[in-house]
Amino acid sequence: MISKNLTAASTKPIILGILKQGTSYGYLIIKKIKELSGGKMKYSDGMLYPVLHRLEKDGLIESKWVMEDDSARPRKYYEITEAGKQELVQEQQQWSQVNAVLNTIWDVKPSTT
């Protein structure tokens, strides 16, 4: 199980990453995260929304209400903006760097002396 803090820290790149693949709405985003993490990332569904709204306020994503023909319910669809895409690139770099540092550390054999 992935820790709460780490989950929280990774929310932003995950959401941006999912939205980069196409527009989506809250319930679908959560579902996707759960699928991808194989249930290892523990999430309260509700915590997603404040994050989405903050990203929107920061101009990284945009939203609009859509009434789909095949559904009885309207959905609030989110879409990544250009600024969001740039932000995602930076996040990717940062996470890769963290990953690289961790890999390097863990690859070093324990000193025998």
Name the site residues for another protein (rule: CB under 8 A). 26-27, 30, 44-47, 49-51, 53-54, 57, 73-76
- Residue 47 or 100 with smaller CB distance to another protein: 47
Please report, as a single letter, which amino acid is at residue 73. R
- Residue 16 or 55 with smaller CB distance to another protein: 55
26 by DSSP, 3-state: which? Answer: helix
- Residues 6+ away with beta carbon under 8 Å from 43: 7, 30, 33, 34
Shortest distance, CB of residue 20 to another protein, whole angstroms?
Answer: 21
